[in-house]
Amino acid sequence: MNVSTEFIMTGLFVFALAGFLGFETIRRVPRLLHTPLMALTNALSAISLVGSIVVLGGQYSTYSTILGFIAVIASMINVVGGFLITDKMLKMFKPRQKKKPEPAEAEAGA
């Protein structure tokens, strides 16, 4: 194997290990802690978005530019989706407002 093949194989191994570790970590988190954990992962996704923009903007090679573009798209989807899910989860914890009875219902009940 040459150096680039070893580098790619090592990178794929680290990626697979990180994916497995992340899945196991998220799976074992109690439901009450999911919202703070989502906020943390949104921050990490934003950091990866900045890193992928740096790779995309750098004049390295065509291969790194393509991977940087894919990383920007994936990171952006992750950030936007994470914020949407976090917003939806936070809305679940807001107290529900009681409906005001309509005038016709108030008169019928009186």
Residue 14 pLDDT exceeds 80: yes
What pLDDT, on a 0 to 100 scale, did the predictor assign at position 32? Answer: 67
**Average pLDDT, integer, range 52-59:** 85
d(CA 95, CA 73) in angstroms, rounded, equals: 36
Lowest mean pLDDT among 15-24, 40-49, 93-102: 93-102
Residue % of the chain over a pLDDT of 90: 2
pTM score, two decimals? 0.54
Query: Half-sphere exposure (CA, 13 Å, Cβ side) for 40?
Result: 7
